[in-house]
Amino acid sequence: MNIPESLADIQEKIIKKEISLVQICQEYINRIKSSTSNAYIEVFEEEALSKAEKIQKKIIGNNFGLLAGIFVGLKDNICYKDHNLTASSKMLEGFKSLFSATAVEKILNEDAIILGRLNCDEFAMGSSNENSIYGPVKNPKDEKKVPGGSSGGSAAAVAEGLCNIALGSDTGGSIRQPASFCGVIGMKPSYGRISRNGLIAYGSSFDQIGVFSKTIQDANILIHVMSGSDEFDSTVSSQEPSNKEIQLPNKKFNFGIPDEYLKFEGLDIEIKNKLLSVIENLKEDGHKVEVLKFPFLKYLVPTYYVLTTAEASSNLARYDGAHFGFRSNNSEDINSTYENSRSEGFGIEVKRRIMLGNFVLSSGYYDAYFTKAQKVRRLIKTKTEEMLKNNDVLILPTAPSTAFNIGEIKDPIKMYLQDIFTVHANITGAPAISLPIGTHSNNLPFGIQLMANSFQENTLFEVSNLLIEKYLE
């Protein structure tokens, strides 16, 4: 059975009685059961089917929420009341959410149906979805390849047609890089656009919930619904949510492209050429493209890893077997309980980051690493704002390459460098999106990234819409 790809098409077909929501739900469940990608770690089968019946009636009765008809997969680090939540870690095995994330409440209020829980890197730390107690996710375009990470299950599920929409989190690229690897849209809103209440914390001054979709209209409406102030997260802006519908302004846009991005040695030549050809086309169509100087490219990854590991070491301190999380049986006293529970409960990458974070925060090194990285963060933010003063968006690659083989990258530093083009938006708090407009000669997809000034989601979606309409292959 064919499931329409966009929310608008689903609603139209249901109203015309060409398809029922229960049929769609059953089809998704069947597909998930026969899938081999390991994207889903749990399906809420009965619950989703019974909700589908109720929401079907609401649609027919012409009294339905903005997201009625949509099936959503949730990354396993976003709380959904009374459902399991593990951050793909042994540390949280058996844990059930006591409340729903604000973003989840908001989509449920608009009649979205949550289909299940999606695999990810443990505590959202990784770029390949290989750091998960549930095992790696396979890229639906080629099962030997990784789907990217950390929201690998979310990207794979949308790419494979196992849900319309997946929610993910993006601390340093975890939505955009897997979107690029799997050939779907991946959007990270501005820091402070969507409440982080109910998102398991990794790097609190970087984390944002965002969305994977097949159509730009669906990404837009999800961000609109999830936006807005929240008494449980004081970092959320009280600004008006972004628009419900993408405007179609009949105007020419100004694009900026930092030269250093284009000249980055590790950038795949075909990705670079595609970016250059899109730029040429934009110019031919009368848009302005300005080549800019951004001397901080090589500082992005170090700044990101100093600051996020520092924040992670503090955020993950609560999982000690006494206050929260897995408790080791082999302990005699409180100290050995802490030590054994954390040693046995966390995987190797999470432990590496906790140790790194504690190191950069330790006395004697604090100023040399943590304080310095904070200062560099400020410089990067100021420079980026300057680049966006006369430009609507920056146009960038999303990732240096297409998806790599499962097991291929063993060196952690090499893995961290995967994030070179995505961490920029998290360091500055800017909204950014990856659009699936490239296919490599190796048959794998890749994305092109757009980044706007903070809270300019509307512009970002307008430009995205333009690019998708013109250049989607």
User: In angstroms, rounded to a whole number, what is the distance separating the alpha carbons of residues 286 and 129?
Assistant: 41
Token pair of 16 as six digits: 């015309």
Q: Cis omega (within 30 of 0) on the bond before 150?
A: yes
The number of angstroms, rounded, from the C-alpha of 37 to the middle of its chain's C-alpha atoms is 18
Token pair of 469 as six digits: 């309409």
The SS3 of residue 255 is strand
Closer to ligand GLN at the Cβ: 6 or 128? 128
Q: How far is the CB of 126 from ligand GLN (least distance, A)?
A: 5
* Residue 190 bears catalytic tag: no
Q: How far is the CB of 193 from ligand GLN (least distance, A)?
A: 16
> Among residues 89, 174, 180, 464, which one is catalytic?
174
Interacting residues with ligand GLN (CB under 6 A): 124-127, 150, 169-174, 202, 308, 419
> Among residues 13, 37, 51, 75, which one is catalytic?
75
* Residue 244 bears catalytic tag: no
> Among residues 37, 100, 132, 150, which one is catalytic?
150
Which residue's Cβ has the minimum distance to ligand GLN? 174
AA letter at 467 = L
Closer to ligand GLN at the Cβ: 131 or 454? 131
Q: How far is the CB of 150 from ligand GLN (least distance, A)?
A: 4
* Residue 174 bears catalytic tag: yes
Q: How many CB atoms lie within 10 A of CB 242?
A: 25
Angle, alpha carbons 467-468-472 (nearest 5°) = 110
Q: How far is the CB of 363 from ligand GLN (least distance, A)?
A: 25
Q: How many CB atoms lie within 10 A of CB 316?
A: 26
Q: How far is the CB of 167 from ligand GLN (least distance, A)?
A: 13
Q: Which of 240, 230, 10, 272 is nearest to 102 (CA)?
A: 230
E strand segments, 223-316: 254-258, 288-292
CB 306 within 8 A of CB 272: no
Q: Which residues are catalytic?
A: 75, 150, 174
